[in-house]
């Protein structure tokens, strides 16, 4: 039995008295693609930010390769964060820099090598050298997502996070991005953690699926099991029904 | 009677929460400033970012700071002339102009103009980067956003403000000289002689110290409010306003403190 890549046990987090994570337990094995599903405001982003060290959990343990990482500071925290790549929901490209400088941002070395590496990573997401010198604002939403994906994989992180990778894209472009994510994760052997509420994305990307509801993982299993989960919460979410045990929350967490 | 008591208690509670909020902000700001200075003295540094900020803050502020000083110096000379004439002291124009400009108006007006230009721009830029997750993205790209974004801005402002104020002082005195020689009938050489006679090294040094302090506050306010902004476009707008207002107040307050310490003996 190998050591899990990511292991969360009893992680809790509250913001000014409001509980967002109420004890999250989650295990992701090396090279596995885990997708966390859940409605808006169920704590998906907070979970991700806790693992990344952008937020500090109130209690519980977060282990990467068996090493406790919650509570790291300074250089140890920076070293921890350097193992991750992240595709942000809005792309989060640096709009003052051209595409190639964005893609090669985390790389070091002479400019010529960094540019070559940027072109190589752009090619991996299906973009030609002609986009390298454009500014992010000159690209369409789908192209920006691809550039952001190239930037996330460029330093070859061990673990990569995808935050709502298909939000704001048309169904065809969404499928292109999903296919790219699946392909890159398999080719590069990266451990992937995705948060989404797009079921098409789940079916395309996931090896395993976990559902987060009211700050807890209420179900997890293989991708194929989501249609026969026999869990009323999962059932309602997967089929997108308004009626069911999940009631819409008015206030965000 | 109970109604009056209740009102009083409510007023007390409101006052207390305002004071607590103020203290909390001062605490957060102090921690931010300490973090910035701590990171500034240890590598990694980003010299390219520093140079860019020196250009943005220093070079592009020159026209507005220069014009402000030129116009203010002229207006000051005119008023001193009018005021001085009442008790036959109109010859004090060069002396009072140079002291007024170098000790107070050069650094303060220069600081306020740069604050209006730069603190707002920093707050808007960093605020937008915060709400579009670009600051979080830096963290995942092996870059400390404090070192990459904040430290270069603060250092550049501290380095560049004394130079800007030097220019501002020269142009302010020149504005006075221009008006005095063309409209008030002063002899050019005599005016400049008196100016040089009354200008002391202490005045110039205090002017530079003020400028560096103002530069620190300008960049600190711009970065602090931008870096911690939240709540979308409205939040960025609030951050920008708060950055400018707080920079103005800190400039005027620290100017008063430095003036009292240096000249109040």
Taking residues B14-40, report their average pLDDT: 92
Biggest CA-to-CA distance, chain B: 77
Out of B136, B139, B142, closest to residue A155 by CB:
B142
Question: Closest-CA residue in chain B for A153?
Answer: B141
Residues of A in contact with B144 (CB under 8 A): 78
pLDDT at B89: 85
Euclidean distance between CA atoms B164 and B66, whole angstroms: 8
* Interface contact flag, A94 B144, Cβ < 8 Å: no
- Give me the DSSP letters along A114-160: HHHHHHHHHHHTT--GGGTTS-GGGS-HHHHHHHHHHHHHTT--SEE
Note whether A185 and A160 are within 8 A (CB): yes
Q: Where are the domains of chain A?
A: 1-78+206-253
For B32-63, b/e burial (b = at least 16 CB within 10 A) is bbeebeebbeeeebbeebbeebbebbbeebee
Of B130, B230, B137, B15, nearest to A155 by C-alpha is B137
Euclidean distance between CA atoms B46 and B101, whole angstroms: 36
Residues of A in contact with B133 (CB under 8 A): 88-90, 92
Residues of A in contact with B142 (CB under 8 A): 78, 81-82, 106, 155
Using left for φ > 0, alpha for ψ between -120 and 50, and beta otherwise, residue A126 falls in left
pLDDT at A210: 92
> Three-class SS of residue B260?
helix
Residues of chain A with pLDDT under 70: 1, 248-253
The angle subtended at Cα B207 by Cα B204 and Cα B213, nearest 5°, is 145
pLDDT at A42: 79
pLDDT band at B177 (very low <50, low <70, confident <90, very high): very high
Note whether A108 and B142 are within 8 A (CB): no
Compute φ and ψ for A252, nearest 5 degrees: -80, 155
Q: Which residue has the higher pLDDT, B89 or A117?
A: A117
pLDDT at B1: 60
pLDDT at B93: 92
pLDDT at A251: 57
* Interface contact flag, A88 B137, Cβ < 8 Å: yes
pLDDT at A248: 64
pLDDT at A250: 57
Taking residues B7-29, report their average pLDDT: 91
* Interface contact flag, A82 B137, Cβ < 8 Å: no
Q: State what percent of residues in chain B have pLDDT above 90.
A: 86
pLDDT at A252: 55
pLDDT at A142: 86
pLDDT at A243: 78
* Interface contact flag, A106 B143, Cβ < 8 Å: yes
Q: How many DSSP H helices and E strands does chain B contain?
A: 12, 0
- Side-chain-side CA neighbours of B145 within 13 Å: the count stands at 21
pLDDT at A34: 93
The angle subtended at Cα B230 by Cα B229 and Cα B233, nearest 5°, is 95
Q: How far is the alpha carbon of A90 from chain B, nearest alpha carbon, in Å?
A: 7
Euclidean distance between CA atoms B229 and A139, whole angstroms: 27
pLDDT at A144: 92
Question: Closest-CA residue in chain A for B130?
Answer: A92
- What CATH class has A1-78+206-253? alpha beta
Of B134, B131, B165, nearest to B240 by C-alpha is B131
Residues of B in contact with A84 (CB under 8 A): 140
Whether residue B143 lies within 8 A of chain A, CB to CB, comes out as yes
pLDDT at A167: 86
Chain A segment 60-79 residues within 8 A of B by beta carbon are 78
pLDDT at A94: 94
Note whether A139 and A131 are within 8 A (CB): yes
pLDDT at A120: 92
> Three-class SS of residue B2?
helix
Q: How far is the alpha carbon of A91 from chain B, nearest alpha carbon, in Å?
A: 8
pLDDT at B117 over 70: yes
Q: What is the pLDDT of residues A132-152, one digit of tens each?
A: 999 999 998 889 999 999 999
Euclidean distance between CA atoms B72 and B109, whole angstroms: 9
Out of B133, B141, B144, closest to residue A105 by CB:
B141
Calculate helix-pair angle for B151-183, B47-57, nearest 10 degrees.
Answer: 30
pLDDT at B101: 95
Question: Closest-CA residue in chain A for B44?
Answer: A75
Q: Where are the domains of chain B?
A: 52-259
Of A251, A229, A250, nearest to A37 by C-alpha is A229
> Three-class SS of residue A221?
strand
Whether residue B141 lies within 8 A of chain A, CB to CB, comes out as yes
Whether residue A164 has a cis bond before it, omega within 30° of 0? no
Note whether A162 and A89 are within 8 A (CB): no
What are the distances in angstroms from CA A65 to CA A8, A167, A168, B192?
A: 11, 31, 34, 74
Burial of B14 (0-12, 13-18, 19+ CB in 10 A): exposed
B-interface mutation test, from A45, A51, A79, A86, most B Cβ less than 10 A away:
A86
- The ipTM (two decimal places) reads 0.85
pLDDT at A242: 79
A-interface mutation test, from B137, B144, B145, B230, most A Cβ less than 10 A away:
B137
Alpha helices in chain A (DSSP H): 44-52, 74-81, 99-103, 111-124, 141-153, 171-188, 199-205, 232-239
pLDDT at B64 over 70: yes
């Amino acid at each position: 039995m190998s050591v899990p890549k990511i292991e969360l046990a009893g992680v809790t987090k509250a913001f000014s008295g409001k509980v967002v994570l109420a004890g999250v337990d989650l295990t992701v094995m090396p090279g596995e693609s885990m997708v966390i599903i859940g409605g808006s405001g169920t704590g998906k982003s907070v979970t991700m930010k806790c693992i990344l060290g952008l937020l500090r959990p109130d209690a519980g343990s977060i282990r990467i390769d068996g090493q406790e990482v919650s509570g790291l500071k300074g250089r140890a925290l920076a070293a921890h964060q350097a193992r991750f790549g992240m595709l942000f929901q809005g792309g989060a490209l640096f709009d003052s820099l051209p595409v190639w400088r964005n893609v090669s941002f985390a790389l070091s070395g002479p400019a010529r090598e960094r540019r070559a590496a940027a072109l190589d990573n752009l090619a991996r997401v299906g973009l030609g050298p002609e986009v390298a010198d454009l500014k992010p604002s000159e690209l369409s939403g789908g192209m920006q997502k691809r550039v952001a994906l190239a930037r996330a994989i460029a330093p070859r992180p061990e673990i990569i996070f995808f935050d709502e990778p298909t939000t704001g894209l048309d169904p065809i472009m969404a499928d292109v991005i999903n296919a790219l994510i699946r392909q890159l994760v398999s080719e590069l052997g990266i451990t992937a953690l995705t948060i989404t509420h797009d079921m098409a994305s789940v079916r395309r990307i996931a090896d395993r699926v976990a559902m987060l509801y009211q700050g807890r993982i209420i179900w997890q299993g293989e991708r194929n099991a989501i249609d026969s989960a026999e869990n009323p919460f999962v059932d309602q979410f997967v089929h997108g029904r308004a009626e069911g045990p999940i009631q819409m929350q008015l206030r965000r967490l | 009677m109970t109604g009056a008591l209740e009102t009083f208690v409510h007023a007390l509670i409101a006052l207390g929460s305002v004071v607590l909020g103020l203290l909390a902000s001062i605490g957060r700001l102090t921690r931010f400033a300490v973090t910035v200075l701590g990171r500034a003295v240890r590598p990694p540094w980003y010299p390219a970012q520093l140079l860019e900020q020196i250009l943005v803050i220093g070079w592009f502020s020159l026209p507005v700071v220069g014009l402000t000083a030129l116009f203010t110096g002229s207006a000051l000379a005119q008023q001193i002339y009018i005021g001085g004439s009442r008790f036959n002291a109109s010859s004090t124009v060069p002396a009072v102009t140079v002291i007024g400009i170098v000790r107070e108006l050069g650094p303060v007006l220069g600081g306020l103009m740069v604050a209006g230009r730069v603190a707002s721009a920093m707050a808007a830029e960093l605020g937008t980067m915060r709400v579009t997750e670009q600051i979080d993205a830096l963290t995942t790209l092996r870059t400390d956003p404090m070192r990459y974004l904040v430290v270069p801005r603060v250092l550049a402002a501290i380095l560049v403000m004394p130079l800007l104020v030097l220019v501002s002082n020269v142009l302010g005195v020149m504005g006075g000289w221009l008006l005095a020689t063309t409209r008030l009938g002063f002899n050019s050489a005599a005016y400049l002689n008196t100016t040089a006679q009354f200008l002391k090294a202490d005045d110039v040094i205090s002017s530079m110290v003020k400028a560096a302090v103002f530069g620190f506050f300008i960049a600190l306010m711009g970065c602090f409010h931008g870096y911690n902004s939240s709540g979308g476009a409205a939040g960025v707008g609030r951050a920008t306003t708060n950055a400018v207002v707080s920079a103005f107040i800190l400039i005027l307050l620290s100017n008063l403190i430095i003036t009292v310490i240096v000249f109040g003996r």
